[in-house]
Amino acid sequence: SSTFYQPDTVTCNGEKFKIFITKDQIDERLNQLGNQLDKDYEGKKPIFIGILNGAFIFLADVMRHVSIDCEVDFMKLSSYGDKKVSSGQVTELKHIDAKIEGRHVILVEDIVDTGLSMNYMVKRIKENNPASVAVCTLLHKKEATHHDVQLDYVGFEIPNAFVLGYGLDYAQEGRNLSQIYVLDSDEK
Ligand code: 5GP
Ligand code: MG
Ligand code: MG
């Protein structure tokens, strides 16, 4: 029978990664975030906007941890290409379809690194005059963030190392890992 894919170490595109955040730790944090969102958005019917591709697994899990009425839509950005360092440019590959004027928007991202993508996203979303915009990110590399971003919900603060799994890829591989891994040569 099949189970979640969760080895202790993994090789992806020829590079070794080791376990960094376990499935149990992720599940515990999802419970806390879900409870917090339930309280903060009671009676507001928020719309979650996931940023593809990286946020798809976190978004699916976060949504299943809230009990309030909510909706979902997606935006697609690309800034990393297939490398481990950001290109420094944001390319919008898909904008949202939903009408968000007057709505409470929760942007859901896998990771905020320099903050460039999230800074861009928030500006774009605000052009549509939503009632409010909040940011929910699974991971935050605090030391690496130099663009102006307001993070309302953060799963885990992490050091400036390259991570993989639970939706995050390395050259499109590794998204199906159910835990989060760090590049072995980067410090933990
Ligand atoms: P930022 O615009 O904040 O510099 O970068 C945000 C995007 O870069 C994230 O949405 C993610 O796609 C990618 N990214 C940043 N750091 C990492 C990382 O450690 N691992 C992976 N797989 N992607 C990352
Ligand atoms: Mg992303
Ligand atoms: Mg990527």
pLDDT by position in tens, the chain (length 188): 567 778 889 999 999 999 999 999 999 999 999 999 999 999 999 999 999 999 999 999 999 999 999 999 999 987 656 666 666 778 889 999 999 999 999 999 999 999 999 999 999 999 999 999 999 999 999 999 999 999 999 999 999 999 999 999 999 999 999 999 999 988 55
Residue bearing the CA closest to ligand 1, atom 12 = 54
Cβ–ligand 1 distance for 138 under 6 Å, the answer no
CB 100 within 8 A of CB 72: no
In a domain, 2, yes or no: no
148 catalytic? Reply is no
Query: How many domains does the chain contain in total?
Result: 1
- Short-list 137, 187, 141, CA closest to 167: 137
Which position among 38, 113, 148, 169 bears the catalytic label? 113
Cβ–ligand 1 distance for 109 under 6 Å, the answer yes
Beta-bridge partner residues of 47: 71, 105
In a domain, 178, yes or no: yes
Q: In this structure, what token pair is assigned to residue 51? A: 């940023």
Ligand 3 centroid vs 69 CA: distance in angstroms?
30
Give me the interface pTM, i.e. the ipTM.
Answer: 0.96
pLDDT score, position 91: 86
Ligand 1 centroid vs 78 CA: distance in angstroms?
10
Q: What is the CATH number of the domain that holds 62?
A: 3.40.50.2020
Ligand 2 centroid vs 60 CA: distance in angstroms?
14
Nearest bound ligand to the CA of residue 158: 1
Ligand 2 centroid vs 118 CA: distance in angstroms?
9
pTM: 0.94
Task: Say which residue the tokens 């307001």 belong to.
Answer: 150
What are the phi and psi torsion angles at 157 (to 5°)? -85, 130
Measured distance between the N- and C-terminal CA atoms of the chain, rounded to whole angstroms? 33
Residue bearing the CA closest to ligand 1, atom 8 = 80
In a domain, 141, yes or no: yes
- Short-list 66, 47, 17, CA closest to 165: 17
- Number of other CB atoms surrounding residue 16 within 10 Å: 12
In a domain, 39, yes or no: yes
- Ligand 1: atom nearest CA of 162 is 19
- The residue range of the domain holding 62 is 9-81+90-183
State which H helix or E strand residue 154 sits in. strand 153-157
In a domain, 1, yes or no: no
In a domain, 4, yes or no: no
Q: In this structure, what token pair is assigned to residue 95? A: 């904008």
